[in-house]
Structure 1
Amino acid sequence: MSVRMMIAVVATTALFAGACTGSGSEPEGPSRPERAPAAAAEPPRAHPPIACTHTATDPEQARAQLARAAPGQTLCFAGDGLHGAELEATASGTPRQPIVLVGRDTTVGSVSVDADHVVVDGFTTVDGDGLTLDGTGITVRGNEVLRARDDGIGCLCTDTHIRDNVVREADGTGIRIEGERISVLSNDVSRSVMRESGDADGIRFFGTGHRISANKVHDISDDGYPDPPHTDCFQTYDNSSPPTRDVEISGNTCRNVDHQCLIATAQEAGQAGAVGRSRSLRFVDNTCAVEGSQAVLVRWFPEVAVRDNEISGPDLARGVYLANGSTSAAVVDNRFRGDYPMVEVDESSRPGLRVEGNERF
């Protein structure tokens, strides 16, 4: 190793150690006007200091340290030598001693976790596979995922937290979760595109017990495609996917997206005569400013509560549309901007329906 390279390695290691003190489809609507500019994203939060058990500065070191990782260790990744690297974590921590992966001073292609009780903290991924997660007790925080070749953050997980991440220009969906009890909190998702994928969305969710809160989803367009995607902020469906139950989507902002704020459908269950296999969804206190024919579209999906939301859009033909046996729904205390029906419901979805307290602003 040259003297210059030795100095670079020491400098990047010191950067961590020196500061440490501890360890669907929709009905057609009219043409839309020119798109309004989106609000700027908030600056990233300050990071606490990190105590590194080991620091890797090239792919060979990274592979060796990931292979030897043990519960309670903090593995740091730093420097230009890891540019474009694909990091794969397969060693598990424990609930009290997770393995922590820190990448605050490097840019990699992707981070893949196939293990339990792992923390992924502060990486930037560019032009790779983004963050791919499979396991229990995973935490993904403070990462920036740019131009992923697939979904930006993909999680087949249980008891997992995805928070304070920025995802831009993912090919498909910014964040896709499937499993049980996944928290998606305070992420910024924008400019999803359809290159090799079949659509371009913000957040997709499948499974049970998820909480999706305080996220910003914005600037997802269907312009410029020969066969455009159906761009939505939040989507679930059961075609070749598990049923979705007991999910709460609250306090999110959805702006400048070309179709729905929320689309929840269970067509496969409907065709099988099993409406209710997906059920129980709460959509509460969200701000929706979208370009679709409706802001909320629900089909074959009973027990949906749409409450305390603010809904607007230049092309809205209706605010909330319930159809195909979406019974026992509640549309309560929402605010709608514009002159259109606030709620439309087909006959099959009227049993158990409650609509009250909605107003225009």
Structure 2
Amino acid sequence: MSVKMVIAVVGTTAALFAGACTGSGGEPEGPSQPERAPAAAAEPPRDPPPVTCTHTATDQEQARALLAQAAPGQTLCFAGDGLRGADLEASASGTPEQPIVLVGRDTTVGSVSVEGDHVVVDGFTTADGDGLTLTGTGITARGNEVLRAHDDGIGCQCTDADIEDNVVREADGTGIRIEGERISVLGNDVSGSVMRESNDADGIRFFGTGHRISANKVHDISDDGYPDPPHTDCFQTYDNSSPPTRDVEISGNTCHNVDHQCLIATAEEAGQNNAVGRSRSLRFVGNTCAVEGSQAVLVRWFPEITVRDNEISGPDLANGVYIANGSTSATVVHNRFRGDYPMVEVDESSRPGLRVEGNQRF
């Protein structure tokens, strides 16, 4: 939903995995991407931990065979130039006690797709493909680098999943998109999302219940250079053709150099169907927002939002937090705002249950 408002493996296995591995492995072209300033450099990735491989694949035929025969408790490693550009598809499931672990090192694949339960995707680099596509329960994606995905960089339709310490660059659409129940999105770095075949360019989108989105960096997403520009936001949820969103906490993130909202939470479909409250209960706490939009936080048809202890700035802000369309029982407290504009504006329909206090300028 777009809203812009102005309101008053080469070499031996031993060499690749430091002696730890054992065993053996038996779209249409769209419009050109607009020119844009390079994204800020991410912090250097941490050295991956040692890996003990059950089996290792160094070409696509071996990879297909390993994935077809994957069993709980196995660690399957993928490495080498023979896998460059490969699309890896995993459909087997592990168990909570014995997940299947897929490890990528020293290779760049096109994509990794998981449709199964209790699978770990660790340390892959994907480029110019479909990124990471994850479906299932108990999935973990950690320490991956997703470059220039042709769709969302990391997509997770999941329950009880963890998306941790990944780097996502220049995804076509959204850097990380989650849908389901109890997904943790922690410590990721998302930047440079673009609109090519997609209909928007955002950092993190979230749908569903019980998610925790914490300590992420979302930055350098521009709407410049497009004939019909996207609405670039750091964090977004909406209910148009999407499930309702409830009990979500977004905390300790940084959002900077993004051309529209830091957070946009709307439920227009519910509003049109006299069902406001279907999406509710969102906590936006301790985030740093430096954005280019008309407001940093925009909430519509979305009751029970808390906006607390955030630091908000931007050169074009008409207001810091704007709450409207029956978004009742809102709490906006102890935030800090840089600039001369209304810190908080709330329309009449959203005033029942409103609490606004302790906000200040810096």
TM-score range, shorter-chain basis? over 0.9
Q: TM-score, normalised by structure 2?
A: 0.92
Partner Cα distance (1:111, 1:129) in 2 = 8
Cα 1:92–1:232, aligned 2, differ >3 Å: closer, same or farther? same
Distance apart, 1:19 and its partner CA: 4.0
Amino acid aligned to 1:158: T
Contact 1:89–1:115 (Cα < 8 Å) also in 2: yes
**Aligned twin of 1:51:** 52
**Alignment of 1:289 onto 2:290:** yes
**Aligned twin of 1:271:** 272
**Aligned twin of 1:31:** none
Partner Cα distance (1:10, 1:348) in 2 = 66
Distance apart, 1:14 and its partner CA: 4.3
Contact 1:38–1:256 (Cα < 8 Å) also in 2: no
Cα 1:39–1:226, aligned 2, differ >3 Å: closer, same or farther? closer
**Aligned twin of 1:72:** 73
**Aligned twin of 2:307:** 306
3-state SS of paired residue (1:81): helix
**Aligned twin of 2:223:** 222
**Aligned twin of 1:129:** 130
**Aligned twin of 2:32:** none
**Aligned twin of 2:4:** none
Distance apart, 1:40 and its partner CA: 3.5
**Aligned twin of 1:260:** 261
Partner Cα distance (1:225, 1:13) in 2 = 48
Question: Any gaps of 5 or more consecutive residues in structure 1?
Answer: 1-7, 22-34
**Aligned twin of 1:116:** 117
Contact 2:21–2:56 (Cα < 8 Å) also in 1: no
Contact 1:129–1:151 (Cα < 8 Å) also in 2: yes
3-state SS of paired residue (2:349): helix
The percent identity for this pair of structures is 88
Amino acid aligned to 1:111: V
Partner Cα distance (1:142, 1:93) in 2 = 20
Contact 2:21–2:54 (Cα < 8 Å) also in 1: no
Question: Any gaps of 5 or more consecutive residues in structure 2?
Answer: 1-8, 23-35
3-state SS of paired residue (2:12): helix
CA-to-aligned-CA distance 1:293-342 (integer Å, 9 cap, x gap):
00000000000000000000000000000000000000000000000000
**Alignment of 1:158 onto 2:152:** no
Partner Cα distance (1:51, 1:97) in 2 = 14
**Aligned twin of 1:318:** 319
Distance apart, 1:45 and its partner CA: 1.2
Partner Cα distance (1:93, 1:13) in 2 = 26
Cα 1:106–1:342, aligned 2, differ >3 Å: closer, same or farther? same
Distance apart, 1:10 and its partner CA: 5.8
**Aligned twin of 2:99:** 98
**Aligned twin of 1:88:** 89
Partner Cα distance (2:321, 2:360) in 1 = 13
3-state SS of paired residue (1:319): strand
3-state SS of paired residue (2:66): helix
3-state SS of paired residue (2:82): helix
**Aligned twin of 1:42:** 43
Superposition CA RMSD, Å:
1.5
Distance apart, 1:165 and its partner CA: 0.1
Amino acid aligned to 1:281: L
Amino acid aligned to 1:209: G
Count, aligned residues: 341
Partner Cα distance (2:21, 2:333) in 1 = 50
**Aligned twin of 1:185:** 186
Partner Cα distance (2:166, 2:110) in 1 = 16
Q: TM-score, normalised by structure 1?
A: 0.92
Amino acid aligned to 2:308: R
Partner Cα distance (2:48, 2:230) in 1 = 37
CA-to-aligned-CA distance 1:240-268 (integer Å, 9 cap, x gap):
00000000000000000000000000000
Distance apart, 1:200 and its partner CA: 0.1
**Aligned twin of 2:5:** none
**Aligned twin of 1:16:** 17
Distance apart, 1:93 and its partner CA: 0.2
Partner Cα distance (1:234, 1:170) in 2 = 15
Amino acid aligned to 1:92: S
Give the 4+ runs in structure 1 shifted more than 3 A. Answer: 35-40
Contact 2:14–2:20 (Cα < 8 Å) also in 1: no
Partner Cα distance (2:356, 2:92) in 1 = 51
Cα 1:13–1:70, aligned 2, differ >3 Å: closer, same or farther? farther
Partner Cα distance (1:42, 1:357) in 2 = 34
Distance apart, 1:94 and its partner CA: 0.2
Partner Cα distance (1:289, 1:69) in 2 = 45
Amino acid aligned to 1:291: E
What pairs up with 1:20-35 in 2 under 5 angstroms?
A: none
CA-to-aligned-CA distance 1:173-218 (integer Å, 9 cap, x gap):
0000000000000000000000000000000000000000000000
Partner Cα distance (1:12, 1:316) in 2 = 55
